[in-house]
Amino acid sequence: MNSRSDIAIECVGVEYAVNGSRPLLSDLNLSVNRNEVVVLLGRSGSGKTTTLKLINRLLTPTRGQVLVAGKSTLEWDPIRLRRGIGYAVQDVGLFPHYTVEKNVALIPRAEGWEPERIRDRVTEMLTLVGLPYEQYAQRYPHQLSGGQRQRVGLARALASNPPILLMDEPFGALDPLTRAELQREFTQLRKRLGTTVVFVTHDVSEALLLGDRIALLENGKNLGVFTREEFLVSSEEHIRAYLETYRLGSQSLEK
């Protein structure tokens, strides 16, 4: 068992429902250790995105509680909570009227950092995601490719060095080559930064590649959390189904 302080995020008996309709999440339990990558795997509508939004309090649970650093999200000042949590989503959500530099500098500026420190940080972040400052800092999002935009989104999410990073299918809209490239770079990056990551995907190969542990979500419930090894040998019905699609994919390539 982990001691309490090793747990970065904990969902305890979480239910989320919109005005009395069928809950999107029910009795969800999940704990994420410091510095680990937990992948939430599940099909559309299984509650993955809802879970992420409960962590940064874009939503609040209708029952149970979500603890971040041991404190319920309801007790946190939402702004302070969110500034400690990087957020990257599939559509990226870069500000179209801001340059790459201003986008990445968003939270450091909101936090009132010194201009030189911001500039150094932006340079560092852009280098980290493989976009040299001189070449990219003054461009606007519409002047970038999808992969580059996603890199900027990642740089922005990491800019204030948040202890937690939430990623909602960040590579979902990319072509397979760019996606593989970004996945590879992300694993490298993660090793260096040691951030706690909750990563949402419906792609089982991505889950196996990136996750230290994989939480399987189905119909708003957490069916279990598995390490990669446990996942691969599990006899759980849903996992078998996922692994089936995975194997079918690689078999058809071998033929």
Partner 1 sequence: MPFFDFVLKHRMEIATLTLEHLRLVLWAMAFALAIGLPLGVLLSRHRKLRGVVLGANNIVQTIPSLALFGLLLPMPWLGARADRLTITALALYALLPIVRNTYTGVSGVDPTILEVATGMGLTPRQVLWQVEVPLATPVILGGVRVAAVITIGVATIAAAIGAGGLGEFIFRGLAMVDNNVILAGAIPAALMALAADGAIGLLQRSLQRPRR
Nearer to partner 1, 131 or 144 (CB): 144
Provide the 8-state DSSP code for 62.
S
Q: Is 224 exposed, middle or buried (0-12, 13-18, 19+ CB in 10 A)?
A: middle
Position among 80, 191, 192, 255 found at the interface with partner 1 (CB under 8 A):
80
Asked if residue 192 binds partner 1 (CB under 8 A), the reply is no
Asked if residue 255 binds partner 1 (CB under 8 A), the reply is no
Provide the 8-state DSSP code for 66.
E
What's the number of CA atoms in the CB half-sphere (13 Å) around residue 25?
30
Position among 7, 106, 180, 243 found at the interface with partner 1 (CB under 8 A):
106
Report the 3 state secondary structure along 17-43: CCCCCCCCEEEEEEEEECCCEEEEECC
| Cβ–Cβ under 8 Å, residues 55 and 63 | no
Provide the 8-state DSSP code for 45.
T
Nearer to partner 1, 85 or 214 (CB): 85
Stretch of 31-39, 90-98, 195-203, 242-250 lying at the interface with partner 1 (CB under 8 A) = 90-98
Position among 58, 173, 223, 243 found at the interface with partner 1 (CB under 8 A):
58
Spell out, one character per residue from 114 to 143, where the chain touches partner 1: x when CB under 8 A holds, - when not: --------------------------xxx-
**3-class DSSP state for residue 49?**
helix
Nearer to partner 1, 61 or 86 (CB): 86
Asked if residue 151 binds partner 1 (CB under 8 A), the reply is no
Of the candidates 4, 30, 5, which has an alpha carbon nearest to the alpha carbon of residue 16? 30
Instruction: Kindly determine how many residues on this chain lie close enough to bind partner 1 according to the rule CB under 8 A.
Output: 30
Provide the 8-state DSSP code for 5.
G
| Cβ–Cβ under 8 Å, residues 133 and 103 | no
Least distance CB 145 / partner 1 (angstroms): 11
Positions in the binding site for partner 1 (CB under 8 A): 53, 56, 58, 78-87, 89, 91-97, 106-107, 110, 140-142, 156-157, 166
